[in-house]
Amino acid sequence: MRIDRIELRLVRLPLVHFFETSFGRVHDKAFILVRLLAGGLEAWGECVAEETPYYSSETNETAWHVITGFLAPRLLALDVDDPRQVFPAFRAVRGHNMAKAALEMAAWDLRARAEGQPLSRLLGGARARIASGVSVGIQDSFDDLASKIRTELDAGYRRVKIKIKPGWDIEAVRMVRERFGPIPLMVDANAAYSLADADRLAALDAFDLMMIEQPLDYDDVSDHAQLQRRLKTPICLDESVHSPRAARDAIAAGACRVVNIKPGRIGGFAESIAVHDVCAAHGVPVWHGGMLESGIGRTHNIHLSTLPNFTLPGDVAASRRYFVPDLIDPPVDVAADGTIAVPTAAGIGVAVDVDRVGRATLRFEALTP
């Protein structure tokens, strides 16, 4: 099958609650949506880049530039019956994994719809529900943090991750343990520390955390390996694992015992499945990360989370934590047991609300062969 038309929309949605990490606070999310038209079908993808190059070097503007100038022409020239051929077709373009993933994941949705299958089945997943956790940002006070965590535990979520940075770390974790006891708890530093902070990070060993995510630099492996030798707490890598090769090297170096998979960071589903498989082969569990996606990207993530080595609750949570209304109907919801149902209709299996997308659209471009 050939693609007749690729539509790009830059959209902006306000967040229900601000989200703060070690690199700053955001109040809304602007991102690119991809719509593919082929053989009478439509399919969707979402680019997880944002406005600033802080989590990763990509931004909406770099993704727009690279998709329109370099990736879309390659996708339009391709027979997309096999979505596994999309990432290799982008090989001449170095990096820009988020831009590549937005197109590649839309191509998987297209294929699944053409076959009349749910995306999860095409990806090789089996479970009907996924275990959901939450990522709770840095707040203005410990009381605010505690009240957020109370709300999420009451909603049923199966684990809590709090964002940390120097000055909001040991005391925050101590407060959470004192108020909530032995809940499944982890922390994410988004690369805010260096090896000079090893003593401070080792002090977190006292709190029985499930893992500490990406404490050191975004492109580092060897310092993480050194740190892991000093820590009892497992290190989970996020930013550093941008490819199957990076996953293999990090595991071989002893830099992590857990891996966070985000297809945007890794270049799409095919590469993410390869990371999943490398980790499985080495007995390293994975979980699905989140990038404040709308319901479109969120649903893609739900389908990938059905693969067997996703054995830990992920950051894929209900729509209402992020966007009300969401861009899909019905929104993603979490059950009282902290699980999310995997849609069973063809493709991503949810309906995109085109009126809402239209109202949120800031820029539009269509590309044809």
d(CA 50, CA 35): 18
Complex with ligand NPQ: residue 118 or 297, whichever CB lies closer: 297
Under the binding rule (CB under 6 A), the answer on residue 108 touching ligand NPQ is no
| Distance from the first to the final alpha carbon of the chain | 13
Give the residues lining the site for Mg ion (CB under 5 A). Answer: 188, 213, 238
Contact mark string toward ligand NPQ, 119..148, x via CB under 6 A: ----------------x-------------
Has 232 been annotated as catalytic?
no
Residues 100, 161, 165, 262: which is the catalytic one? 262
Under the binding rule (CB under 6 A), the answer on residue 315 touching ligand NPQ is yes
Residues 49-68, interacting with ligand NPQ (CB under 6 A) = 50, 55
Complex with ligand NPQ: residue 45 or 289, whichever CB lies closer: 289
Has 163 been annotated as catalytic?
yes
- C-alpha of 191 from chain center: 16
Scanning the structure block, which residue is given the tokens 């120097």?
A: 166
Under the binding rule (CB under 6 A), the answer on residue 292 touching ligand NPQ is yes
Q: At 37, phi and psi to the nearest 5? A: -120, 125
Residues 29, 148, 163, 165: which is the catalytic one? 163
Instruction: Give the up-direction half-sphere exposure of residue 292: CA atoms within 13 A in the CB hemisphere.
Output: 26
Complex with Mg ion: residue 119 or 212, whichever CB lies closer: 212
Complex with ligand NPQ: residue 36 or 160, whichever CB lies closer: 160
By residue count, the chain amounts to: 369
| Nearest CA among 309, 299, 298 for reference residue 275 | 309
Residue whose C-beta lies closest to ligand NPQ:
135
315 binds, among ligand NPQ, Mg ion, none (CB under 5 to 8 A by kind): ligand NPQ
User: Computed over its alpha carbons, how large is the radius of gyration of the chain?
Assistant: 20
Give 255's contacts (C-beta < 8 A, 6+ positions apart). Answer: 221, 222, 224, 225, 228, 235, 237, 240
- By the criterion CB under 6 A, which residues form the site for ligand NPQ? 19, 21, 26, 29, 50, 55, 135, 188, 190, 238, 289-292, 315
